[in-house]
Amino acid sequence: MGICWCKEKHEESETYFPQSSNDNIDNAIQSVTPYSAAEYYMENTEKGCPDSSVVDKLVIETLGIIGTLVDNEQEPPASMLRLHNIADNEEGWIQVVKSMVNVIPMLDPLGPSVITLLLDDCPLPSRESVLHVASMFNLSAQSAIADRANAPKQRNISVVLGCIAEKLAGPSSLGILTNSTLDYLITNLDMDADPHVILFSLIALEKFAQTSENKATIIRRLQDEICCPISKLEPWINEEHFVRRQVGFCAQWALDNLFIMKNRKFSYLTVNNSHLNAMLNTSDVSEYLKISPNGLEARCDAYSFESVRCTAQADSGVWYYEVCIITPGVMQIGWATKESNFLNHDGYGIGDDKYSLAYDGCRKLIWYNAKSEPQQLPRWQPGDTLGCLLDMDNQQIIFSVNGKEIPPCTHVFSMAKSGFFAAASFMSFQQCHFNFGTEPFKFPPNLEFSNFNDCGVLEPESKKVMPRHIYLDQLRQQSVREDSCTLCYDKKASVRLIPCEHEGFCTSCVSQLTECPMCRSAIHLVVDDNT
């Protein structure tokens, strides 16, 4: 279960404090003294902006608590509520931003996500406040070069800029992407910069490009360079260094979807997917998840909790797949049927309903029906291998990390006996790579099993992972049949919804609905008029 403002229930486990080589941060964590609820609320309004050291401690406390929060229905932690109150005025908002930039450590796996979470929960800043922050950090090409020794600060500034760009997407963001801010972000793309800084500067540019005028400005700026800096980063997609690999992934996605460069072929035209018989399903994915051209790697840079299922279905026997963990943050990876719904904006994903089960190795939790069970394995790290075994003969699911298994899970079989898909959900800035059998498994189970690539079937057209703008252009050029589904305009409309009697939908689209898209009535029964 993700944090979007996602789940915030305190589990019966030790409190997680971020690991950092910075002694000042460690000391700050240890010196945090819990406040009473009354002190945090302060009658719902901060009486002036508190001392910066107080805000620093509140940020660190929130970061420490956030890894243990897992319940969507509970109130946010007291430290987060107080930060919200502090940020309710311009001076306080600026101090919260300054503290996040200065104290959130580089190596905490939830650091960037917590920045996103706190800023999204704070009141919308004014343009003047944002420009004040840019001036306070002296954003320019010169400062980007001069501050390279302070990579955590540069990374955090880039995360903040990306969050603000997304929060103020539209006309409000036009005046925020000043020449000096753009120079700062473009300069940070230099291959000699810290990979974390490059990554989040690139993501910030993506966020600014959500506004068409900003997108055009960024493209012109990139074209003015002797060699496009994003193009130079794209080969990093094959790096063994996992942060550089993330940079390569984001660079390739940006060049395919946003910053189109002349004489560059789209990635889906350059990859050979002929050997793939199973991959992540681009037609069964929530809206903001990024999927690689080979269909085997996924990443989320949105604030929502994005999910995907694979193309192949398991109905009987024993099945296994593996996942290479690229980022060590919150992901829920496991098995789901078609009845499992993706509620990305509400923070619900795989393991958050009765038709799916997942493992989250960041918080060391098994998830089923939005309830969690703590596990004893160490937190996963980049390069770890998650094994996912589905045994329908014995009605159990077994997860393993680097070959070390956790006890079998049986929860989901009370609701489903077959029809399972490999599936995963991603919190902000998380990424992993799936192996459905195209490569030898690193930690195969000691029993006979099947894999999706050996048993799956994909039509050639289904193996293409096209950029969304190309896919939409192709759809516009196609003639739509009169009996097409009114939601996907692809498959035949064949079902009727009970009790409202509305029709015009295909079985695939209806399987993802809980209410009628026309009248919003609850769906009690789906009748297939073709049978």
For residue range 293-329, list pLDDT tens digits in order.
999 999 999 989 999 999 999 999 999 999 999 999 9
At residue 73 the predicted structure's pLDDT band, cuts being 50, 70 and 90, is low
The ranges of the chain annotated as CATH 3.30.40.10 are 481-530
Estimate to the nearest angstrom the gap between the alpha carbon of 104 and the chain centroid.
20
| Cis peptide, bond prior to residue 499, ω within 30 of zero | yes
| Comparison of pLDDT for 121 and 221, the residue scoring more | 221
Tokens of 508: 């695939």
Provide the pLDDT for residue 45: 44
Q: Give phi and psi for 250, each to the nearest 5.
A: -65, -35
- Chain mean pLDDT for the chain: 88
The sign one gets for the Cα dihedral 74, 77, 78, 84 is negative
Class of domain 481-530: alpha beta
Residue 47 has pLDDT above 70, yes or no: no
The ranges of the chain annotated as CATH 1.25.40 are 52-268
Report the alpha-carbon distance of residue 406 to residue 364 in Å, rounded.
10
Residue 39 has pLDDT above 90, yes or no: no
Residue closest to 9 by CA, chosen among 411, 424, 365, 307: 365
> 503-511 — which CB contacts under 8 Å span 24+ positions?
503/529, 508/283, 509/485, 511/338, 511/339
Q: What percentage of the chain reaches a pLDDT higher than 70? A: 89
Residue type, 410: T
Provide the pLDDT for residue 385: 98
Provide the pLDDT for residue 48: 60
Cα-based distances in Å from 501 to 92, 380, 493? 53, 48, 14
Provide the pLDDT for residue 529: 83
Residue 35 has pLDDT above 90, yes or no: no
Provide the pLDDT for residue 36: 44
Residue closest to 333 by CA, chosen among 217, 202, 430, 458: 430
Residue type, 351: G
Estimate to the nearest angstrom the gap between the alpha carbon of 354 and the chain centroid.
22
Report the alpha-carbon distance of residue 54 to residue 61 in Å, rounded.
11
Report the alpha-carbon distance of residue 291 to residue 297 in Å, rounded.
6
The ranges of the chain annotated as CATH 2.60.120.920 are 280-461
At residue 71 the predicted structure's pLDDT band, cuts being 50, 70 and 90, is low
Query: Domain 52-268 classified CATH 1.25.40?
Result: yes
Residue 364 has pLDDT above 80, yes or no: yes
Q: Which range is least confidently modeled, 127-136, 381-390, 393-402? A: 127-136
CATH architecture of 280-461: Sandwich (2.60)
At residue 531 the predicted structure's pLDDT band, cuts being 50, 70 and 90, is low
Estimate to the nearest angstrom the gap between the alpha carbon of 529 and the chain centroid.
38
Q: Which range is least confidently modeled, 115-129, 308-322, 379-393? A: 115-129
DSSP SS3 for 479: coil
Specify whether the CB–CB gap between 496 and 502 falls below 8 A. yes
| Comparison of pLDDT for 328 and 31, the residue scoring more | 328
Question: Which position has the token pair 């010169």?
Answer: 142
The arrangement of strands across the sheet holding 525-528 comes to 503-505, 495-498, 525-528
Burial-class residue 379 by CB neighbours within 10 Å (0-12, 13-18, 19+): middle
Provide the pLDDT for residue 240: 93
Beta bridge partners of 307: 425
Supply angle C-alpha 401, 405, 411, rounded to 5: 110
Residue 8 has pLDDT above 60, yes or no: no
Report the alpha-carbon distance of residue 428 to residue 17 in Å, rounded.
19
Residue closest to 112 by CA, chosen among 157, 170, 73, 78: 157
| Comparison of pLDDT for 159 and 11, the residue scoring more | 159
Residue 372 has pLDDT above 70, yes or no: yes
At residue 7 the predicted structure's pLDDT band, cuts being 50, 70 and 90, is very low
At residue 1 the predicted structure's pLDDT band, cuts being 50, 70 and 90, is low
Specify whether the CB–CB gap between 425 and 343 falls below 8 A. no
Residue type, 352: D
DSSP SS3 for 300: strand
Provide the pLDDT for residue 74: 63
Report the alpha-carbon distance of residue 298 to residue 303 in Å, rounded.
15
Tokens of 297: 């790697």
DSSP SS3 for 405: strand
